[in-house]
Each structure stands twice: as C-alpha cells, then as structure tokens.
C-alpha cells in the first residue's frame, strides 16, 4: 500500500500531535520551522506525528495464551475476564517476560535529533532512522527544525531561527561544492527534525513509558512518549492499565 494511502488508513487511536494538542488544551508541542524559500512552511505550528504502523493482532489474548503455557492453566482461559485477571497478576508479580510476545511499531515524524538521540538509547527497541548520510536537506526533504517552547516566545527566538537557517545555508553551499552530505551535516543543529520508525515489545514499551513520561524526562521525548502511551492504552488497555496520564501536568505515572 502506498505511504500516502496508509497514512489515511489510520488505526483507531492514532493521530498527529497537532490534532491531539489542539483538541486537548491548545498547547503547542514545538515549532517546526521551514526553509525561508518555502513560505507556506514558515512559522507553522507543531507538526509532530506519531503513527501506529502495526501491532500484534489480539495482543492481549496472545499474551494470556503464552502465559497460560507456563502453568498449563488453559482450563481457566475464559476471555475477556481471564485475560484481565491474568495479565494484571503477572505484571504485579514481576513476571514481565510474557509481555514480550506482543510488539508495536510506530512512525514518528517531526521530532528533533535531540529527541531521537534520547529514544535510540533504548537498547531493546529497534529503530530505523532517516540517515543524514543519504538524505539531502533542501532536496530529498525540507530542512526543518524544532524551536523549544522555552525559547519560542523569548528574545532569543529570532536569533535561534536565524542561526539554524544560516547553518542550513552553509550546508547547502558545501554540498553544492562537492562536500559529501555525511560531512556537510556536521554543521546542522540538534534541532533538525528526523523521521524514525521504532519497534518494541510491550515489556520494553512499559519501561520506556515509565522513565520517559515522568516529570524529570525531557519535554520533547515526554510529549512523544505520552502520545505513544495514549495509543497503547487504547490498543492494549490491560497491559498499560496502571499508567495514569495527567493531561494537565502532561506526565504519566505508574500507579
Ligand atoms: C531522566 C533521564 C536522564 C538521563 N540522563 C542521561 C545522561 O545524562 N547521560 C546518559 O548517557 N544517558 C542518560 N539517560 C539515558 C539512560 O542512561 C539510558 O541510556 C536509557 O534510559 C536507556 O537505557 P535503559 O537501561 O533505561 O533501558 P533499555 O536500554 O531500554 O533496556 C531496557 C531494560 O533492559 C535491561 N537491559 C538492557 N540492556 C542491558 C544490559 N546490557 N545489561 C543488563 N540489563 C540490560 C535493563 O533492565 C533495562 O532497564 C537518561 C535517561 C533518563 C530517563
């Protein structure tokens, strides 16, 4: 299926950051700025999208049946009540390996390289990220950068934008002069956006949410992980039942 069609064919529960933030409380995650020569992309609002690409079908049932193998307790298999009872019990007891039988894949667009660098530190998660060795900004894709909210409304915002665009101009000059993209990219800011696809099993997703959705996590990874958590709570409500999202504080805590 072509990418454009797949995007329209959204799985229930998924949505773009823009939609969610606008609907929830009007907060803006970040400002992704476009190239000067492309005015329609100038100064547009947040446009970070978190798309659930795929998920293990009947994930919670798969987990229950896998888990029942340990105890050969299929006589107790009586979904949906037995599924909820068993999954909650194994999570509380720390028998988390059974959650590894279910997997989810997300495509995340519009986050900065600051965000992706933090995300890819999770070793049990599998990433495929847009390569700055092969992708040419201004040709393969627009150069975009994220301005953090703490900077956006200050006197530093204009300079932040100016220097980011200057770095991009210089990048383009170097590439045009024959400098390889993989070396010209050294001048690009951490704020540069990057597309990434990640796959992780439910155990790893729970771990990521537990440490990235809390107050001490950096705002950008927190916001994006919160969106993944919102989706997972819809898709697998039992496995993620103990994560409570505080939409006002924009955090989630494990109860
Ligand atoms: C608030 C915060 C601040 C941070 N600050 C810094 C920082 O200043 N500098 C920095 O470098 N990083 C920092 N990090 C990143 C952190 O050090 C880890 O790289 C990141 O959390 C991913 O590793 P992990 O162990 O949490 O989980 P994952 O890599 O996702 O692994 C999941 C779990 O699998 C197990 N596991 C995975 N690999 C191993 C292994 N080799 N041996 C044993 N068990 C394993 C562990 O139980 C682990 O918790 C920070 C993270 C957070 C949340």
3-state secondary structure of 219: helix
Find the domain containing 9 and state its range. 3-56+102-147+190-250
Rg, C-alpha atoms of the chain: 21
Q: Are the C-beta atoms of residues 188 and 171 closer than 8 Å to each other?
A: yes
Instruction: Give me the long-range contacts of 175-180 (CB less than 8 A, separation at least 24).
Output: 175/136
Q: Are the C-beta atoms of residues 50 and 108 closer than 8 Å to each other?
A: yes
Please tell me the predicted confidence (pLDDT) of residue 37.
Answer: 34
Structural domains of the chain, count: 1
Q: Are the C-beta atoms of residues 107 and 10 closer than 8 Å to each other?
A: no
Q: Is 202 inside any structural domain? A: yes
Burial of 32 (0-12, 13-18, 19+ CB in 10 A): buried
Q: Is 239 inside any structural domain? A: yes
Q: Is 230 inside any structural domain? A: yes
What is the sign, positive or negative, of the torsion defined by CA atoms of 135, 10, 226, 87? negative
Task: Give the Cα separation of 218 and 208 in Å (integer).
Answer: 13
Report the alpha-carbon angle 117-22-47, nearest 5. 35
Q: Are the C-beta atoms of residues 182 and 111 closer than 8 Å to each other?
A: no
Q: Are the C-beta atoms of residues 197 and 49 closer than 8 Å to each other?
A: no
Two structure tokens written together for 35: 């190239």
Predicted TM-score (pTM) of the model is: 0.86
> Ligand 1 centre from 184 Cα, in Å?
31
Q: Is 161 inside any structural domain? A: no
> Ligand 1 centre from 10 Cα, in Å?
32
Domain at 222, CATH number: 3.30.70.3180
Q: Is 45 inside any structural domain? A: yes
Q: Is 79 inside any structural domain? A: no
Q: Is 219 inside any structural domain? A: yes
94 Cβ closer than 6 Å to some ligand 1 atom: no
* Furthest C-alpha separation in the chain: 71
Residues linked to residue 126 through DSSP beta bridges, in sequence order: 199
Atom 26 of ligand 1, nearest CA residue: 122
**Alpha helix locations (H) across 98-156?**
113-119, 149-152
Q: Is 221 inside any structural domain? A: yes
User: Which residue of 100, 115, 116, 122 sits with most ligand 1 atoms within 8 Å of its CB, as the best mutation to test the pocket?
Assistant: 122
User: pLDDT digit of tens for each residue in the chain (255 aa)?
Assistant: 444 444 433 333 333 333 333 223 223 344 455 433 332 333 333 479 999 999 999 999 999 999 999 999 999 999 999 999 999 999 999 999 999 999 999 999 999 999 999 999 999 999 999 999 999 999 999 999 999 999 998 999 999 999 999 999 999 999 999 999 999 999 999 999 999 999 999 999 999 999 999 999 999 999 999 999 999 999 999 999 999 999 999 999 999
Please tell me the predicted confidence (pLDDT) of residue 152.
Answer: 93
12 Cβ closer than 6 Å to some ligand 1 atom: no
How many CA atoms within 13 Å lie on the side-chain side of 135? Answer: 15
């Amino acid at each position: 299926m072509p990418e454009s069609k797949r995007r329209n064919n959204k799985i229930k529960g998924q949505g773009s950051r823009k939609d969610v933030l606008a609907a929830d409380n009007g907060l803006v995650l970040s400002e992704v700025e476009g190239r000067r020569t492309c005015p329609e992309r100038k100064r547009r609002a947040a446009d970070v999208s978190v798309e659930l690409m795929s998920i293990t079908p009947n994930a919670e049932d798969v987990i229950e049946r896998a888990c029942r193998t340990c105890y050969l307790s299929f006589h107790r298999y009586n979904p949906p009540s037995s599924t909820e009872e068993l999954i909650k019990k194994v999570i509380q007891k720390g028998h988390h390996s059974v959650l590894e039988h279910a997997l989810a894949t997300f495509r995340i667009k519009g986050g900065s390289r600051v965000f992706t660098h933090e995300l890819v530190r999770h070793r049990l998660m599998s990433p495929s990220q847009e390569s700055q060795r092969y992708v040419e900004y201004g040709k393969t894709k627009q150069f975009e950068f994220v301005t953090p909210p703490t900077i956006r409304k200050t006197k530093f915002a204009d300079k932040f934008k100016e220097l980011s665009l200057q770095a991009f101009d210089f990048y383009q000059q170097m590439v045009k002069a024959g400098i390889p993209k993989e070396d010209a990219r050294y001048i690009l800011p951490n704020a540069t956006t990057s597309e990434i696809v990640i796959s992780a099993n439910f155990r790893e997703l729970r771990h990521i949410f537990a440490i990235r959705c809390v107050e001490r996590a950096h705002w950008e990874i927190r916001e994006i992980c919160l969106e993944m958590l919102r989706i997972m709570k819809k898709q697998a409500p039992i496995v993620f039942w103990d994560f409570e999202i505080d939409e006002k504080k924009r955090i989630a805590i494990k109860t």
